[in-house]
Amino acid sequence: EAQVTQNPRYLITVTGKKLTVTCSQNMNHEYMSWYRQDPGLGLRQIYYSMNVEVTDKGDVPEGYKVSRKEKRNFPLILESPSPNQTSLYFCASSPRTRWIANTGELFFGEGSRLTVL
């Protein structure tokens, strides 16, 4: 089954304790992206990746890191989480490529609800 898998789905942590949210897709997509969803603000893009070893900042990258060492995986790293990073996080992948401008829907994972105390 084609899917995007995120882990953990729920996490409560404390300020400053490093954490990683994993994301894996089995659709051989080149494009992957992370979003955070907050009430009244919609989905805001954190980072995206066009391919292995190629990543770019979205609109709200501060406090986050990503890596793309393999095509299928795109982990989101919070080096020193703070309470303002409490949010619902979505990973997504897409068949869009640099050579096919703006085609392809975003396939979202189920979301990871993170609470930072």
How many Cα atoms are found within 13 Å in the side-chain-facing hemisphere of 58?
20
Residue 36 identity = R
Instruction: Give the interface segment with another protein, choosing from 11-19, 21-29, 39-47, 78-86 (CB under 8 A).
Output: 39-47
Q: How far apart are CA 68 and CA 76, in angstroms?
A: 10
Q: Which of 66, 90, 93, 112 binds another protein (CB under 8 A)?
A: 90
Instruction: Give the interface segment with another protein, choosing from 8-16, 61-69, 79-87, 101-109 (CB under 8 A).
Output: 101-109
Least Å distance between CB 55 and another protein?
11
